[in-house]
A and B are shown apart, each in its own frame.
Chain A
Amino acid sequence: MNVVIVGAGPAGLAAAEHALRAGARVTVLDQAETPGGQYHRMLPEVYAARRPDRIQHGRAEFDRRRRVLAHPRCRWWPGSTVWAFDRAEKRVHVLRGPSDGSGRRRLTLVPDALILATGAHDRTLPFPGWELPGVYTAGAAQALAKGERVAIGGRVLVAGAGPFLLPVAESLLGVGAEVVAVLEANPASTVRKGWSSRPWRLAAHAGKAGELVRYAATLARHRVPYLMGRAVIEARGADRVREVVTAKLRADWSVVPGTERTYEVDAVCVGHGFSPQPELAVAAGCVLDDGFVRVDTVQQTTVDGVFAAGEITGIGGAITAAAEGAVAGRAAAGGTPDAALLRARDRARTFAERLAVAHPIGPAWRSWLREDTIVCRCEETTYGELTRATEDESCPGPHALKLGTRAGLGPCQGRICGPTVAELCGGAERHHRPIVQPIRLGELAARIEGEPE
């Protein structure tokens, strides 16, 4: 069996490990130069860090995990972009070379089974001024701090929803930034209700409690306030962010009038959870539920021979992703995942369910928007234009909406605004991108190389 795995994060690496154990030949591809994905983001090899464990959680576990890439039956292809999947021929189209470069090598693979572990990126809800330079996603702040040791600014506010904001704040402090506050939009009552019912069911994630305590201690040591039920509702500045306005929120995320507070900052990072990156699964013809790839008990998608694991099947963090990857790897290699693997996967998924309940997106966030608030960053489509188009009878359905307002037609192809536009305008999110990643015309015209030995 030849198994191709797209993505070398926790899900992809666990899938590789278990596919190898089941006797398969494995190829692991990732766009990045180093394995680990966003969770185990590594410092560049050339930094030759002597003590990388000082910033990388679970370093020992990651070192164990990444060893699979050196297995004699495993090929590791960093710097590889999978830009299309041909359903008829089950052919995986790959570009190898510098990101967005010209003249990358164009290769194809025809695997017996394909495992998609493409992960997620930050979901950020729009608010007035979110397009200003100096406003970043939480993931960007984390990637730059952990992956390069670059601080995005001197005085930074961290805001949004979910436990991910805590490691982001810690990473910012670690590169010498001042974190003025960490704001969780959900009030304490929502968060408590979500996490604390039947806590024993979270046993698979016992280590998380210790992690939370450590974050709390770090914030306290640096005197960073952690406030719940408060959000960034506006960023201000002419050429770049200079200040942000925060406000107290009710449980539905509507603003409590008169609670606004302004912070002077030179950077702000915001994350309201994550959006899956299902482009390849869609290209393969997999059915999605609410944006996530539908999988059966052994992580097989609705397409025969195509498996999915990790954040594209539901946002559940690294432990859940690895547990799903293990099952997918075993099954894709033609093996039968044993009961212990399946049980571990099911237990891990409890975390995903809790996360969704404890850190929901409140529906009243749209009350932060103004007529001229940009929703689609690429095409600068405003909230006003979108609502007018939705009410216009000559503009029925998402397709006409897109053509009429250009929302989702810019360079990112709706990756950022897609879920937001779908929520604001009704209708299902559309993921019809035959090309998964951009490819240059010269590269498209280039000769295809077959599978190299």
Chain B
Amino acid sequence: MSGWLLPRDRDPVGRTDRPIRITVDGEPVTGIEGQSVAGMLLAAGRTSWRTTRSGAPRGVFCGIGACFDCLLTVNDVPDVRACRRPAADGDEVRTQSREETA
């Protein structure tokens, strides 16, 4: 089991969902407008999208922009913190490795 987005009909805050779709390394991932890229990936069952110098997998750690563990490439711009970036419909996201951008 991994993360998820609480279904709208079970959410007591009474929210409105506007579906959006992004691609991650070409694969479609769906979510709702307002989610961060990190939130969308976690809710889609992914826990990592970056590799370190040693090749170890990393995803979200601090969730508020301090740790830089969740870096990925959005629309060809590398090193975007997934936890800080609101996802936009049609975003093309690529996972990245430390070697690639070194």
Contacts and interface: CB of A to CB of B under 8 A. Distances in A.
Contacts of A144: 3, 38-39, 42, 60, 63
- Of listed A52, A99, A101, A379, residue having the most chain B CB within 10 A: A99
B3 A267 contact: yes
SS class, residues of chain B in contact with chain A: loop
Nearest to A413: B68
A143 B15 contact: no
* Number of chain A interface residues as a range: 35 or more
Interface stretch (A13-21, A62-70, A133-141, A220-228): A133-141
A49 B3 contact: no
Interface in B1-52: 1-6, 10-18, 32-36, 38-39, 42-43, 47-48, 52
B71 A411 contact: yes
B67 A150 contact: no
Nearest to B11: A149
Nearest to A238: B57
A266 interface: yes
Interface in B63-84: 63-69, 71, 74, 77, 79-81, 83-84
Given A49-B14, A153-B2, A176-B6, A140 B81 contact: no
Contacts of B68: 378, 410-412
SS class, residues of chain A in contact with chain B: loop
Interface stretch (A39-47, A82-90, A247-255, A396-404): A39-47
B60 A139 contact: no
A100 B77 contact: yes
Nearest to B48: A133
Contacts of B32: 47
A132 to B, nearest CB: 8
A44 B40 CA distance: 14
A31 B84 contact: yes
B29 to A, nearest CB: 13
A152 interface: yes
A175 B47 contact: no
B13 A43 contact: yes
Contact of B61 (A33, A43, A136, A380): A136
Contacts of B38: 144
A175 B63 CA distance: 17
27 contacts: A31-B84, A49-B13, A52-B13, A55-B13, A99-B86, A101-B85, A131-B58, A133-B59, A136-B62, A136-B63, A139-B64, A140-B62, A142-B63, A144-B3, A144-B38, A148-B35, A149-B6, A151-B5, A151-B6, A154-B2, A240-B47, A377-B61, A378-B69, A380-B52, A410-B68, A411-B79, A416-B67
- Nearest 5 A/B pairs, CB to CB: A140-B63, A44-B34, A50-B14, A154-B1, A411-B68
Given A101-B77, A240-B48, 4 more contacts: A140-B64, A150-B6, A175-B6, A176-B10
